[in-house]
């Protein structure tokens, strides 16, 4: 199951990092993240001297410099193991330039990791997903399907909300939002990286089903993005439910 794969991958990351890791908190498109790190890796191979990169800081605030130029400079600054570079990126973020804010956030996070790796002399693990996270928790979009022919009333909603909150709280997790639809309900929640998503959700489903058996045992989980209705329906159709 996909949720087991997510958990196993994260568990391996934890083991490799020795328990030391950093989570990107903001929700940033995965494709943009891939673009950012591809550029960062490319620039590392042809790295300019730190002094030269820092001297170009004014270009970030110059309206005559195009977006691509600023993206490149932000990526270069994030590779510069100098606290001055971090402060420059921080200052740029405050301007909240349209179209560049997510890129600047990625640059700031990468700059911090670069600095910690350099000054602490130990490799830092950076975990980033499309939905971000908070503290030591990652954000997940979870969708559970109601059984066919079951009319969901307020009493069922109250039961599932209570049981899911209990399960999340028991596993040091938090529900940010529950949304109800005709054939399914979705949850946006925060779960610690070392906790099995499968266990959290299955426990809640089983407890809820003690009061009428109205939720399917199969569900979907992603930390990439909030899925659209068509994507959710397509996924459940493939699962045969």
pLDDT value of residue 172: 96
Q: Which has the higher per-residue pLDDT, 89 or 5? A: 89
Average pLDDT, the chain: 89
Judged against a pLDDT cut of 80, whether residue 121 lies above it is answered with no
In the chain, which segments carry CATH 3.30.70.1290?
135-239
Judged against a pLDDT cut of 90, whether residue 7 lies above it is answered with no
Judged against a pLDDT cut of 70, whether residue 177 lies above it is answered with yes
**CA 155, CA 177: separation in Å to the nearest integer?**
18
pLDDT value of residue 11: 63
Going by pLDDT thresholds of 50, 70 and 90, the confidence category of residue 23 is confident
Considering the chain, what percentage of its residues have pLDDT values greater than 70?
90
Mean pLDDT of 85-94: 96
Judged against a pLDDT cut of 80, whether residue 120 lies above it is answered with no
Going by pLDDT thresholds of 50, 70 and 90, the confidence category of residue 118 is confident
Mean pLDDT of 41-69: 94
pTM: 0.80
Judged against a pLDDT cut of 80, whether residue 25 lies above it is answered with yes
Q: Are 214 and 204 in contact (CB under 8 A)?
A: no
Structurally, at CATH architecture level, domain 135-239 sits in 2-Layer Sandwich (3.30)
3-state secondary structure of 211: helix
Q: How far from the centroid of its chain's Cα atoms is residue 233's Cα?
A: 23
Going by pLDDT thresholds of 50, 70 and 90, the confidence category of residue 84 is very high
pLDDT tens digits for range 145-168: 999 877 889 999 999 999 999 999
pLDDT value of residue 97: 86
Q: Are 226 and 131 in contact (CB under 8 A)?
A: yes
pLDDT value of residue 3: 56
pLDDT value of residue 19: 56
Going by pLDDT thresholds of 50, 70 and 90, the confidence category of residue 187 is very high
What is the residue-wise DSSP string for 181-207? -SSEEEEEEEEETTS-HHHHHHHHHHH
Structure tokens of 44? Answer: 């590392």
Q: Are 188 and 177 in contact (CB under 8 A)?
A: yes
Judged against a pLDDT cut of 80, whether residue 16 lies above it is answered with no
Mean pLDDT of 5-15: 61
Q: Are 76 and 48 in contact (CB under 8 A)?
A: yes
Locus of tokens 């956030």? 105
Mean pLDDT of 2-26: 65
Give which of 172, 186, 176 is closest to 236, Cα–Cα: 186
pLDDT value of residue 9: 64
Mean pLDDT of 216-228: 94
Judged against a pLDDT cut of 90, whether residue 24 lies above it is answered with no
């Amino acid at each position: 199951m996909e949720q087991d794969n997510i958990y196993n991958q994260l568990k391996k990351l934890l083991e490799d990092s020795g328990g030391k890791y950093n989570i990107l908190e903001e929700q940033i498109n995965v494709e943009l993240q891939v673009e950012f790190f591809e550029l960062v890796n490319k620039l590392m191979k042809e790295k300019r001297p730190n002094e030269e990169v820092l001297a170009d800081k004014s270009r970030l605030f110059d309206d005559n410099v195009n977006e691509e130029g600023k993206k490149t400079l932000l990526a270069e600054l994030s590779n510069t193991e100098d606290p001055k570079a971090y402060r420059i990126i921080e200052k740029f973020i405050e301007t909240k330039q349209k179209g560049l804010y997510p890129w600047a956030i990625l640059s700031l996070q990468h700059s911090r990791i670069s600095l910690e790796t350099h000054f602490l002399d130990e490799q830092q693990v950076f975990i980033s997903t499309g939905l971000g996270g908070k503290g030591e928790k990652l954000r997940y979009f979870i969708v559970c399907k109601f059984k066919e022919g079951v009319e969901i009333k307020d009493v069922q909603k109250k039961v599932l909300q209570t049981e899911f909150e209990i399960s999340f709280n028991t596993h040091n997790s938090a529900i940010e939002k529950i949304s109800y639809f005709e054939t399914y309900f979705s949850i946006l929640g925060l779960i610690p990286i070392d906790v099995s998503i499968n266990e959290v959700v299955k426990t809640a489903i089983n407890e809820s089903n003690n009061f009428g058996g109205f939720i399917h045992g199969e569900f979907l989980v992603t930390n990439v993005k909030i899925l659209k209705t068509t994507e959710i329906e397509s996924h459940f159709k493939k699962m045969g439910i």
